[in-house]
């Protein structure tokens, strides 16, 4: 009589299948973890890269260079204090507050300007006076925000719900760049603002590890299939013809 599926004769096959299946699942998860680590590293490495002069990255009339999101840039020019705005809904340490944003006329007064996030403050009334004069700073380049579902309840004040270049330009008398910069060093009386956007990892980043992870799981499926076939063969009843052949005919 063929052994049943939980017969001690099959424990070895069960154990071997479980060990192999656990190994393939574990190796697959490990490879996917390596893939995620590669993508996370690709996202953050650019923020720690050596800063480049802003004019080498983009011009005032250029579209935003998406591949440079989060890249440090050097900005040199004059503050445009009358263009200062405050962006609401920005958290710092779990506290909702505002970004203090003042444009910098790149290259000198009257030239196209780029909005600079000077830092974070809990209340607009606590924000220090906008800076004046010449400035040289390093910050992270960010694209203009623009959520379609966000509207400005009072377009006549200096508080904005998002840092959208089309909104900021209403507060200055010169052209603006198609992005903004988050200053690495917060101004006096301000806390350091955090990046809102990090660069996207490339599609091919860590792809080999992702495919290896899937390959290990395919092997796991193959292990299950072989185990199932083996159990089916061992536990299958003997064919009737074979059973009849084994019967010794009685003497007449």
Span 124-146, pLDDT tens digits: 999 999 999 999 999 999 999 88
**Residue 121: which of 155, 93, 154, 142 has the closest Cα?**
93
- Which one is predicted more confidently, 18 or 139? 139
CB 68, CB 79: distance < 8 Å: no
pLDDT grade for 21, boundaries at 50, 70 and 90: confident
Neighbours of 207 (CB within 10 A): 13
Tokens of 39: 């993508």
Q: How far apart are CA 96 and CA 69, in angstroms?
A: 25
pLDDT at position 155 is 72
- Sign of CA pseudo-dihedral 31, 37, 39, 42: negative
DSSP, collapsed to helix, strand or coil, labels residue 17 as: helix
Neighbours of 51 (CB within 10 A): 17
pLDDT at position 143 is 93
CB 75, CB 131: distance < 8 Å: no
pTM for the model: 0.62
Q: How far apart are CA 122 and CA 55, in angstroms?
A: 33
- DSSP string of 176-239, one letter each residue: B-SEEEEESSPPTT-BPPPPS--PPPPTTTTHHHHHHHHHHHHHHHHHHHHHHHHHHHHHSPPP
Q: Is the pLDDT of residue 115 over 60?
A: yes
Mean pLDDT of 2-23: 76
pLDDT at position 205 is 46
pLDDT at position 28 is 79
pLDDT grade for 242, boundaries at 50, 70 and 90: low
CB 26, CB 182: distance < 8 Å: no
**Residue 131: which of 143, 122, 119 has the closest Cα?**
119
The 3-class secondary structure across 107-141, one letter per residue, is: CCCCCCEEEEEEEEECCHHHCCCCCCCEEEEEEEE
Q: How far apart are CA 114 and CA 190, in angstroms?
A: 19
pLDDT at position 42 is 57
Helix 207-235 crosses helix 11-45 at what angle (to 10 degrees)? 170
- Which one is predicted more confidently, 106 or 199? 106
Name the helix (H) or strand (E) containing 86. Answer: strand 85-92
Mean pLDDT of 218-224: 82
pLDDT at position 114 is 97
Q: Is the pLDDT of residue 89 over 50?
A: yes
CB 61, CB 179: distance < 8 Å: no
- Which one is predicted more confidently, 166 or 247? 166
pLDDT at position 217 is 79
Mean pLDDT of 14-43: 76
CB 38, CB 204: distance < 8 Å: no
């Amino acid at each position: 009589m063929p052994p049943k599926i939980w017969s001690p004769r099959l424990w070895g096959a069960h154990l071997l299948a479980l060990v192999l299946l656990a190994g393939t699942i574990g190796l697959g998860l490990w490879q996917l973890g390596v893939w995620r680590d590669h993508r996370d590293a690709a996202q953050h490495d650019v923020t720690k890269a050596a800063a480049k002069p802003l004019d080498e990255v983009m011009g005032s009339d250029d579209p935003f260079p998406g591949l440079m999101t989060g890249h440090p840039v050097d900005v040199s020019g004059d503050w445009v204090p009358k263009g200062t705005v405050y962006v609401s809904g920005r958290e710092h340490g779990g506290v909702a507050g505002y970004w203090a944003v003042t444009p910098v006329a790149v290259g000198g007064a009257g030239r196209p300007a780029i909005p600079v996030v000077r830092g974070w403050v809990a209340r607009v009334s606590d924000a220090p006076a906008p800076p004046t004069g010449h400035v040289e700073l390093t910050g992270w380049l960010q694209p203009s925000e623009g959520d379609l579902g966000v509207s400005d309840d009072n377009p006549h004040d200096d508080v904005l719900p998002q840092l959208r270049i089309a909104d900021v330009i209403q507060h200055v008398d010169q052209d603006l760049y198609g992005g903004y910069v988050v200053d690495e060093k917060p101004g006096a009386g301000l806390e350091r603002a955090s990046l809102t956007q990090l660069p996207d990892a490339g599609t091919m980043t860590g792809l080999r590890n992702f495919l290896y992870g899937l390959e290990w799981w395919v092997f796991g499926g193959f292990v299950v299939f072989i185990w199932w076939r083996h159990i089916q063969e061992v536990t299958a009843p003997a064919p009737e013809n074979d059973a009849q052949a084994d019967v010794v005919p009685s003497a007449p």
